Amino acid sequence: MSETDRRTFVAGAAALTAATATAAAAQAKKDPKAATTAAAAAYPKPPFPVQRQPWPGLASKMNPRPDHGEKSYRGSGKLAGKKALITGGDSGIGRAAAIAYAREGADVAINYLPAEEPDAREVIALIKAEGRKAVAIPGDLRDERFCRTLVEQAATQLGGLDILVNNAARQQTRPGIADISSQDFDDTMKTNVYAPFWLTKAALERMESGAVIVNTSSEQAGDPSKDIVDYAMTRAAVLNFTKGMAKQLASRGIRVNAVTPGPFWTPLQVSGGATPEKQRTFGESAPLGRPGQPAEIAALYVAAADPALSFSTGQVFGATGGNGQPG
Ligand code: NAD
Ligand code: MG
């Protein structure tokens, strides 16, 4: 390139950069996402009112109520025509994923416990409001037979299965290992480890190339708290399972990814998942100084399943508010 050409090129590039910046600023002003940014600035910070609900708890009874993106999430057809099953889709992170998936064009089946019917009804209504098919399948994931039935029913009613989100989990705080009964341990393992195993096995009988499995893990997988050791073990197991299955299923064209939340304001934390003191200060130890709202992680569930990210499998998508990511 001659010196004159180089100068012309540099000047052109500078003009382009300035024009892009101006366009970006103009776009930001009318960008519908700006509302989400403003919402984030206003999201609640600790101290929180200490509250207690019986397990598994309802989002509708939390104070403050979590934001699952009901008013803010905007889709752009990323999951158009996909058929997804989301466990724990009634509340918290699973509800945020369900809303986002429907707004990205997917038909969605959700599983939850029968006691969570009021939360589930709200989610079903939100999915239907997008003109998508919404399927509600309540039942207990600790039962292998139910896990098989759940996948069968979801695939039949949706007309196929492209995405499985293993998101349901049980977390009950206990001060010491002596306080964790074998029944407790069994319930946590069955819900958090066995169910994703059973559901994955059943789903793979129906999935084709292009399908995706998304597992919810946690920052707890790499940095366990002292009073939820059984739960933290399960989040590590799920992360490991994600990476192994990604390798196993690569040849079938099926991807497996994980999402790792940090502290999120959900029913899990107010129905036995956290001590009253941890609840009061919830999110304080994250560099952002507050818990995440489920709306703030929904886009990662979309990314983890997005067909555009076809080279991403065995990946870990994080939202920890500034704390480290488990490997
Ligand atoms: P949540 O209470 O809203 O969701 C958990 C869901 O699990 C419940 O809604 C319930 O439907 C389901 N569930 C529990 N036991 C079940 C059973 N036996 N059968 C069927 N369903 C059952 O809470 P959340 O925080 O949104 O949890 C979702 C996921 O996020 C979990 O995997 C959890 O480990 C993970 N996570 C949460 C946090 C957090 O701070 N909230 C942090 C890291 C990871
Ligand atoms: Mg729930």
For the Cβ of 91 lying below 6 angstroms from any atom of ligand 1, the answer is yes
Atom 3 of ligand 1 has which residue's CA nearest to it?
A: 92
The secondary structure of residue 222, as a DSSP letter, is T
Is 43 catalytic? The answer is no
User: Could you give the 3-state DSSP secondary structure of residue 315?
Assistant: coil
Residue 160: C-alpha distances to residues 90, 128, 263 (Å): 21, 18, 34
Q: Judge: domain 51-319, CATH 3.40.50.720.
A: yes
- Catalytic option among 43, 73, 101, 231: 231
Task: Write out the two tokens for 190.
Answer: 């069955």
Testing ligand 1's pocket by substitution, the residue of 87, 93, 146, 271 carrying the most ligand atoms inside 8 A of its CB is 93
Say how many C-beta atoms besides its own lie within 10 A of residue 2's C-beta: 7
Residue 231 corresponds to which tokens in the numbers above? 């739960």
Residue where the block lists tokens 């707004």:
103
Tally of CB atoms within 10 A around 291: 25
Tell how far the Cα of 91 is from the centroid of ligand 1, in angstroms. Answer: 8
199 lines ligand 1 (CB under 6 A): no
List the residue whose alpha carbon is closest to atom 29 of ligand 1: 167
User: Which atom of ligand 1 is the closest one to the Cα of 57?
Assistant: 2
Which of 140, 191, 215, 268 is the best mutation target for the ligand 1 pocket, counting ligand atoms within 8 Å of the beta carbon and taking the most?
268
Per the structure block, which two tokens stand in for 311?
């080279």
Domain ranges within the chain, ordered by starting residue: 51-319
Quick one: 180 exposed, middle or buried, by C-beta within 10 A (0-12, 13-18, 19+)? middle
- Tell me if 167 sits within 8 A of 88, measured CB to CB: yes
* pLDDT for residue 10: 37
Task: List strands edge to edge, sheet with 134-138.
Answer: 134-138, 107-112, 83-87, 163-166, 212-216, 255-261, 316-319
Q: How far is CA 126 from CA 90, 134, 168, in A?
A: 11, 9, 20
The token duo for 32 is 């519908």
- Determine the Cα–Cα distance for residues 61 and 26; give it in Å rounded to an integer: 40
Q: Which ligand is nearest to the CA of 110?
A: 1
Answer whether 141 contacts ligand 1 (Cβ < 6 A).
yes
**Cβ atoms of residues 222 and 327 within 8 Å:** yes
Asked, as a colleague might, if the bond just before 64 is cis with ω within 30 of 0, I would say yes
What's the alpha-carbon Rg for the chain, to the nearest Å? 21
- Total Cβ atoms within 10 A of residue 135: 19
151, 173, 188, 264: residue to mutate for ligand 1 pocket, most atoms within 8 A of CB: 264
Closest ligand, as measured to the CA of 282: 1
CA of 196 to the centre of ligand 2 (A): 17
- Per-residue pLDDT of the chain in tens (327 residues, 90 and over written 9): 444 444 433 343 333 334 433 443 444 455 544 445 677 889 999 999 999 999 999 999 999 999 999 999 999 999 999 999 999 999 999 999 999 999 999 999 999 999 999 999 999 999 999 999 999 999 999 999 999 999 999 999 999 999 999 999 999 999 999 999 999 999 999 999 999 999 999 999 999 999 999 999 999 999 999 999 999 999 999 999 999 999 999 999 999 999 999 999 999 999 999 999 999 999 999 999 999 999 999 999 999 999 999 999 999 999 999 998 897
Give the number of whichever ligand sits closest to the CA of residue 224: 1
* pLDDT value of position 327: 77
In the three-class reduction of DSSP (H, G, I as helix; E, B as strand; rest coil), residue 293 is classed as coil
Nearest ligand 1 atom to alpha carbon 238: 32
